[in-house]
Amino acid sequence: MATAITEKPARRALPPLMQLSDAAAERLRQLYAKGQEGKLLRISVSTKGCSGMSYDLGWVDAASPSDEVVVDQGVTVLVDRKATLFLIGTTMDYEVKALSAGFTFINPNEKGRCGCGESFHV
């Protein structure tokens, strides 16, 4: 006599859409407190550059219906829903170098980058 299984198998936890490094979270806190007060950073991916895709960052007044809201370390960023498949598991960092400073992305989905580092492909 066979017994029926009534319990559903446990689901594997999904990785977070995006995470912020300590440096990125701190820089965003500074920006939100000063010049970009009342705005939110929106991250999207567009088709351009040598490798085909590029990260686009822009300030918006509020989330749109097509935005995913990511809250990490008490900081909120928006991700364009069209970009979510390209960004799953990505860590956003903030780097200060000798001649430049800016946000960078550590994206496990990237298969390669162009020589200048401006674009990527998955």
State what percent of residues in the chain have pLDDT above 70: 78
Q: Which of 87, 34, 27, 38 is nearest to 60 (CA)?
A: 38
* Burial (CB count within 10 angstroms: exposed 0-12, middle 13-18, buried 19+), residue 43: buried
Cα separation, 50 vs 14, whole angstroms: 31
> CA–CA distance from 8 to each of 1, 5, 12, 15 (Å)?
21, 8, 12, 21
Which residue do the tokens 């567009």 mark?
Answer: 46
Mean per-residue pLDDT of the chain: 82
Q: 118 in a domain, yes or no?
A: no
Q: Which domain holds residue 43?
A: 18-112
Q: One-letter amino acid identity for 110?
A: E
Of all residues in the chain, the percent with pLDDT exceeding 90 is 43
Domain count, the chain: 1
Q: Environment class of residue 92 by beta-carbon count within 10 Å: exposed (0-12), middle (13-18) or buried (19+)?
A: buried
pLDDT at res. 3? 59
- Write down the pTM of the prediction: 0.77
CATH number at residue 78: 2.60.300.12
Residue 49 per-residue DSSP state: S
Digit-coded pLDDT (tens) for 6-33: 677 777 666 678 999 999 999 999 999 9
Within-domain flag for 86: yes
